[in-house]
Structure 1
Amino acid sequence: MTIPTQNSITRRQALSGIGAGVSLTAVAACAPASIASQAVKSAAMIQPNAFLDLVAYRLLQHEPERATGLGVDTGAYAGLRSRLEDQTQAGQDAYAATLREDLTTIRAIDTSGFDADTRTNFEVVESGYANALDGFALPYGDVAVGSWRNAPYVVIQNVGSYLDLPRFMDSTHPMRDAGDASAYLDRLAQVPAVLDGELDRMRAATDMGVVPPDFLLVKAVAQMQRTITDAMKGGSLVAPLENSTLGAANEAAGEAKAIVQNQIAPALEAQLAELYRQQKSATGDPGMAARPKGDEWYAWALRASTTTPLTPDEVHEQGLEELASLHGRMDPILKDIGYTVGTVGERMQALSQDPRYKFAEGDPGRKEIMDFIKDRIGWIKGQMPRAFNTLVDPNLEVKRLPLAEEPGAPGAYGGAGSKDGTIPGRMWINLRTTDLHRKYDLADLTYHETIPGHVWEGEYSNRLPLIRSILAFNAFSEGWALYGEQLADELGAYDDFVVGRLGYLQSLAFRACRMVVDTGLHHKRWSRDEAVNFFVERNGSKRQEVESEVDRYCSWPGQACGYKVGHSEIVRQRTMAEEKLGDAYDFKAFNDAVILGGNAPLDVLGKNVARYITSVS
């Protein structure tokens, strides 16, 4: 792979690439089943990137919200802005049928004559689609196509349209003109059908015996009740229209309120009734091993999350080994700052109670946290020319999580903005209590979610062909974000604040713990208390934080394992490049090779690094 030496890729170039070969891509808006014909295969050989755009838009027909999030619901695809994903079983089956058809087409195309980057694009799609189809073949659950949230439960404390749609409509659906306001109303009118589709799948799963753990249902019921109360007032789904400066939006608010109160609220109440039904048979057993076909479901989820064939036992053992190694690095730092007695976990627990590293309570502390994050973003931005040859300038904002989402959410999460740059990348921070965060661990969390982590990485993926901007792989996404934390340390983030380096190392150790705990819950039949206590006692994690973490692993099986598996593989590839290249190895060139190769399964990542090594050798 040729590594550019300047900031030479732009959104305009990426988006103009989507328009190239329009005679092929225009078919996507209404592509029939015959898309896998020999004619299309032949066209793909002539215009491979245009063919991949066709594949991308066929996917977006099933997930129109993603088209809006990427900023590509324009021109021939403007109709996507008025639609929502079909959550019925029939809709999900149709989604799988499209993936199956396109995967068959891709596998029939001879890619040997393509350049390396184009071959990589086809390999990524093939891997992503094959994994997703394995998930769709399972009898229940929600499959994230080229994303990270595979879930056995369609609606639970951190899964479901009751959470996703209010945030999407407020932060992602545009409100620039009358057409956007009209599209907003169109989408709002579809929400009852979306909720009903989820409800039918919930009921079918319940009838199979697939019932979430009782402690997750307690959270989900409380959150659903809050969502219904909000909907009865019009609330968050009407607010984007009411708060807009656009006259057409204000005029639509009355109609929107009627839809929310008279149609959406009853649909939410029906979902709540099903959660109540599930509670009657729910147990406290947290893992997939206790669910019908749970071992099969977890094996797939682990494979999808790590993009490796690692077994649960192998992931578990790797987590224990990496945890011991990281604690070995933390121990001397703790001793140097006066914490000499007890295990690393016990000493980190003691450190967490040190008032010097706590934020103030309430709103003053929330402001302190937001100011801290913005300061760290400013610092790390200035360091990026030292780590990369090819630079980007992310449009980035930091926002508090919606209040209804905070109880079931992690401490923070982040991601890239739209492909056209109109929607910023975001770091969402959980501020339900300031006690979730410490001054020694908030910096690495910031680097993970923003720069050089998720927002930074997403900027590069947004400059690849559209399908590559859509397909993201958990092990790469989260592995890169952890590698971003490592880069910040290597660039000097903690040179004058050694306690901050403890926070960074604890962050890595936390991800190693995840490998142990996730496999413990779903494969070794640990209890929820066993899982929480492992974090608290072995790693010194804050109990309040890890209780929500463990609950998240119960509803997103396998996802937590991708972080450290991905990070360890990137570091392994870097070590290999250093050994093979010797004096020819270049830190910035390696980082470029990884990030310009795009979000990919780990085996494809290895191929990208191999091409970098060959180009230098």
Structure 2
Amino acid sequence: MFRRIVSVACLSAILFSPSFAQSVAATNEDAHLNDALDTEWQYELKTNPETATYVGDTRYNDRLNDYSPAAFAREVAHAKEALQQFEAIDPATLSDEGRLNRTLILRTLQRRIDGAPFKNWEMPVNQMNGPHLDYASMPSQMPFDTVKDYENYLSRLRQLPTAFTDITHDMHLGLHDHLMPPRYLLEKVAAECQDIADKPVSESPFAEPIQKFPAAISATDQRRLKQVIEDAIRIDVIPTYAKFATFVRDEYAPHGRADFGVWALPDGDARYREAVKEMTTTDLTPEQIHAMGLAQVKELDAQMLAIAKAQGYADVKSFNEHIRKDPKLYGSSGAQILGLYQHYADQMYAKLPQLFAHLPENKLEVVPMDAFRAPDAVPADYSPGAANRPGRINVNEYDPTHRLLLNVEAIAYHEGIPGHHMQFSIAQERKDLPPFRKFGDYNAYSEGWALYAERLGKEVGFYRDPYSEYGRLGNEMWRSIRLVVDTGVHQDHWTRDQMIQFFRDHTAMDEKNIESEVDRYIAWPGQALAYKMGQMKILEMRSLARKELGPKFNIRGFHDAVLAEGPLPLDVFDTRMREWIEKQR
């Protein structure tokens, strides 16, 4: 899972890429289209300064997003206007690439328009995502090299009271419109906010940038900046978080919905189907995905049984019970778990040339996850890098003695290399790929690649320990279970206990991980479906390439082609890969 710390996803429009041969040369209309796309990108950065920071553009680092209802209305109105503008460009006058670009920007804008009636901005917080966590993570996203960088940060801190006033107003509107997350998840949000508010200034996550200054900043400026930032944390930040925690706990959470599935919301079935379509970039129905998941679970049960028997156990259930009860298979400390992730990242680096011809320049760091979000977070996630920062695997060190180590190796390859770090960094480093495409937001492609990358560790000779291999298969099972339980809770009215029990029946996952997982699916409908959808498409294209190219098939060339064009919807990815295969022929 990658963590995108922006509140409004940027447009994923597409510009010219030389990755595939063009049957028609670029035209004058292509230049007109590209100018329009660049104008759209600049509009996106200016109106969503937090997105600009995320992609490494520092021009708006002194501003925060506008969370007012009027701002969300303007966003939809702009999308409708831009849609008309791009529709007016005659596709017959464009090159092949230009036609693809036009198709993709139209789809992106239409997706934004189609999602608008559901007013998801009226439910802006849950235990895993939301401004209350995003803002506490600002120090890891912003640069702190100059006095201006610190002054930008100070400006943002002073704007937090206004931002949270708007966010609170949005939540009041959601309460009026019966758009409410589950109560028990909102209680977690209140606790997260209170925890941040209760920390003394020196220990606040917002104080991290003033713990150590770069040498280029004079001692006089250091003293001044330290004082004004501490004052802002004391006067603006802490009271804002305390007030928001009180609001969520006392006024908002008590009205949270009792049912777990999104079906309980107004237009719940339509809301879920729209989420499925957006997250998977397919037209598969929840019913089809549920059936697909059940079939995959059955197939993986058989593979896991073979390992269980090889270890001397009669069935998967008894082997899973052994795993859950063996203390040697759990972490001993946060530092130990962090070290394991670093070890697996280091060993994979040496194998990358076997799998790729093109490697990213941006480095990967393995760091502890922010303590304020760790209790309700996944075992690890990834923060994409940018020109001014490396990519990061964020390792959850919370309660390590209750965290199984079996799947740490697989997660390291998923979150780091050759998973998210390869995919995001290669796209961002393409000199000929404009930013629209570099920062495209297609979960099925990005998470599908990361899940596919877990298998690559096996192909280069890793997972040597049978327990690690069982953990890898357990990860495959984990993602297949998602197809069942996500559709189960949001389509078929499953309870939280049903979701947990299905995990227990088919995995050896520890209870803490199971509970954080099912709570994640409840909070984020449809997102967990993206992993398997994307992985299956990549495996399908790899199988087709092997069949069609025979001895000409080269795994390094295939992987470079998969990553060459940045994130794409799966149907577009299918078309482009088929074109690549034909070109190789």
- Common fold: TM-score over 0.5: yes
3-state SS of paired residue (1:347) = helix
Does residue 158 in structure 1 map to residue 128 in structure 2?
yes
Question: What per-residue deviation string (whole Å, max 9, x for no partner) do you get for residues 103-137 of structure 1?
Answer: 33233324456555555444433333322222223
**1:399 Cα shift?**
1.4
Question: Which of 582, 588, 594 is the aligned partner of 2:562?
Answer: 594
Out of 243-252 and 282-291, give the one that drifted further. Answer: 243-252
Partner of 2:19: none
Task: Determine which of 464, 472, 475 is the counterpart of 1:507.
Answer: 475
The residue correspondences of 1:100-499 to structure 2 (distance < 5 A) are 100-111=80-91, 119-138=99-118, 140-142=119-121, 153-168=123-138, 170-230=139-199, 235-245=204-214, 246-247=217-218, 248-275=221-248, 276-341=250-315, 344-360=316-332, 365-418=333-386, 420=387, 422-435=388-401, 437-462=403-428, 463=430, 464-494=433-463, 496-499=464-467
Asked if the contact 2:541–2:574 (Cα under 8 Å) also holds between the matched residues in 1, the reply is yes
- Residue deviations 1:35-61 (CA, integer Å, cap 9, x gap): xxxxxxx97632544443322221112
Aligned partners of 2:416 and 2:402: how far apart in 1? 19
Q: In structure 2, what residue type is equivalent to 1:336?
A: A
Partners of 1:436 and 1:130 in 2: CA distance: 45
More off after superposition, 468-477 vs 446-455: 468-477
- Provide TM-score, normalisation by structure 2: 0.89
Show structure 1 runs of 5+ residues with no match.
Answer: 1-16, 19-41, 143-151
2: CA distance between counterparts of 1:156 and 1:371?
30
Instruction: Determine the C-alpha separation between the residues in 2 that align with 1:488 and 1:513.
Output: 22
Stretches of structure 2 that go unaligned for 5 or more consecutive residues are 1-13, 16-26
Task: State the AA in 1 paired with 2:245.
Answer: L
Q: Supply the AA of the counterpart residue of 2:325.
A: Q
Q: Partners of 1:573 and 1:436 in 2: how far apart?
A: 39
The match for 1:65 among 30, 50, 53 is 50
Deviates more, 1:261-270 or 1:459-468: 261-270
1:613 is aligned to 581
CA distance in 2, matches of 1:489, 1:345: 25
Structure 1: distance between partners of 2:486 and 2:222? 45
**Conserved 8 A contact 1:69-1:423:** no
Residues 203/413 of structure 1: CA separation in 2 closer, same or farther (3 Å cut): same
Structure 1 pair 485–264 and aligned structure 2 pair: CA distance change class (3 A): same
The 8 Å contact of residues 45 and 109 in structure 1, kept in 2 or not, is answered as no
**Residue in structure 1 matched with residue 24 of structure 2 by the alignment:** none
Deviations 1:55-96 (A, max 9, x none): 2221112221222222223xxxx2x12111111111222223
Q: How many aligned positions are there?
A: 553
Secondary structure of 2:350's match? helix
Provide closer, same or farther for how the CA distance between residues 597 and 523 of structure 1 changes in structure 2, counting only shifts above 3 A. same
Matched residue type, 1:84: L
Amino acid at match of 1:432: Y
> Do 2:62 and 2:156's aligned partners in 1 also have CA atoms closer than 8 Å?
yes
Give me the whole-angstrom Cα distance separating, in 1, the residues matched to 2:98 and 2:393: 31
Confirm or deny: 8 A CA contact 1:346 1:537 kept in the other structure: no
**Paired residues of 1:475 and 1:563 also in contact (CA < 8 A):** yes
Q: Which amino acid aligns with 2:322?
A: A
1:201 CA displacement: 0.8
Closer, same or farther: CA 347–116 of 1 in aligned 2, 3 Å:
farther
**Matches of 1:523 and 1:350, distance apart in 2:** 34
Structure 2 Cα separation of the partners of residues 298 and 249 of structure 1: 50
- Measured at CA, do residues 244 and 383 of structure 1 come closer, stay the same or move farther in structure 2, by a change above 3 Å? same
Query: Is the partner of 1:426 in helix, strand or coil?
Result: strand
Give the stretch that moved more between structures: 94-103 or 466-475.
94-103
Among 56, 64, 68, the alignment partner of 1:84 is 64
1:106 counterpart letter in structure 2: F
Question: Could you tell me the percent identity over the aligned residues?
Answer: 29
Over 3 Å counting, the alpha-carbon distance change for 1:45 and 1:600 in structure 2 is same
CA distance change for structure 1 residues 122 and 329 in 2, over 3 Å: closer, same or farther? farther
For the Cα contact (< 8 Å) 1:357–1:440, is it kept in 2?
A: yes
Q: Partner of 1:101: helix, strand, or coil?
A: helix
Give SS of 1:399's match.
strand
2:87 corresponds to which letter in structure 1?
R
CA distance in 1, matches of 2:573, 2:526: 20
Q: Mark the CA change 1:530 to 1:608 in structure 2 (over 3 Å): closer, same or farther.
A: same
Which stretch shifts more, 594-603 or 351-360?
351-360
Contact 1:597 1:605 in 2 (8 A): no
> Residue 34 of structure 1 corresponds to which residue in structure 2?
none
Structure 1 position 377, deviation (Å): 0.9
Label 1:234 to 1:334 Cα distance change in 2 as closer, same or farther (>3 A).
Answer: closer
Equivalent residues of 1:214, 1:283 under 8 A apart:
yes
**Aligned pairs (5 A) from 1:509-528:** 509-528=477-496
Q: Which amino acid aligns with 1:478?
A: E
SS of equivalent residue, structure 1 residue 199: helix
The alpha carbon displacement at 1:598 in A equals 1.5
Residue 384 of structure 1, CA deviation: 1.2
Instruction: Give the Å deviation of 1:249.
Output: 4.9
Aligned residue in 2 for 1:534: 502
Structure 1 SS opposite 2:575? helix
Distance 2:161 2:39 in 1: 30
Q: What is the root-mean-square deviation of aligned Cα atoms in Å?
A: 2.3
Structure 1 residues 283, 210: closer, same or farther in 2, change over 3 A?
same
Q: Secondary structure at the match of 1:338?
A: coil
Deviation, structure 1 residue 576? 1.9
Distance 1:393 1:435, change over 3 A: farther
Q: 1:243 to 1:473 in 2, by over 3 A?
A: same
Of 7, 24, 31 in structure 2, the residue corresponding to residue 46 of structure 1 is: 31
| Structure 1 position 564, deviation (Å) | 0.8
Q: Is the 8 A contact 1:394 1:456 kept in 2?
A: no
Partner SS for 1:403: coil
1:337-369, CA deviations, whole angstroms, 9 ceiling, x for partnerless residues?
11223xx35522422433343221xxxx22222
Deviation readout 1:512-569 (Å, 9 max, x if unpaired): 1011111111111111111111111222322211111111111111111111111111
* Matching residue of 1:33: none
TM-score, scaled relative to structure 1: 0.85
